[in-house]
Amino acid sequence: MSWKKMDTPIEGCYLIENPVFQDLRGEFSETYKLSVFRELGLPEMVQDNHLLTKRGGIRAMHWQVGEYAQAKLINVIQGKIFDVVYDLRQDSASYMQHATFELNESSQLLFVPAGCAHGFQGLSDNSIVHYKTDREYNAGSQRAFLWNDPEAGINWPVQDALVSEKDAQSAPLSEALKNG
C-alpha cells in the first residue's frame, strides 16, 4: 500500500491515507515522511504539537496570518474527534465554506492548508491528537473566531461543550475577518 492524497470539499485540504503494516505483534505506520510529502506537493513540517482533549472539549477556531500562516497535519492517536476546517482564503474556490471530519486512531491523516481556520471537539472521554505544522507558532499572528458563531454554521455534536476562556471570548467570524 502506498500513500494516497484524497480531495475534500475544501480546496487544498486533503485526507491522507498512509500505509499501515500489521503482523502478530500489532501495527506499524509512518505518519510523516518528507520525501513522500514532497512527492504529494505538500510542505515540509517543522513543529509538532500534542493535545489531550476531554469529551466535549473544543479547541477552536484558530489560524495564523502573514509569514506565520500554518498548514497542519492532524493525526488522532487515541479516541475520536469532530474536526472542522473553515476556508478563509479569499482566492480559494471554497472561500467561506467549511468541511467536517470525524477522525479517530484508525482514520486517515488530515492536511489543513495555511489560511484555513481549524478546530475540533473531543468525542471520546479522552482523545489524543498529534499535529504537525509547517511554520512555528507565533502568538502575535494567531487569530480566532467564536466557535459557536451562528454565521459560521458549524454544528458541533457534543452540546455540553468545554471551552477555554480565550476561545469563549473570541470575536464573531465577520468581526475576526475585519481585524486581519
Please tell me which residue in 86, 98, 118, 131 is annotated as part of the active site. Answer: 131
Alpha-carbon distance of 133 to 114, in angstroms, equals: 9
* Residues linked to residue 11 through DSSP beta bridges, in sequence order: none
Q: Phi/psi of residue 31, each to 5°?
A: -105, -10
Active-site annotation holds for 131: yes
- Give which of 136, 128, 148 is closest to 53, Cα–Cα: 128
Please tell me which residue in 62, 86, 98, 118 is annotated as part of the active site. Answer: 62
Q: Which three cell numbers stand for residue 26?
A: 500489532
Task: Tell me the C-alpha to C-alpha distance, in Å, between residue 94 and each of 26, 36, 76, 89, 99.
Answer: 40, 26, 25, 8, 10
Alpha-carbon distance of 126 to 71, in angstroms, equals: 25
* Residues forming the active site: 62, 131
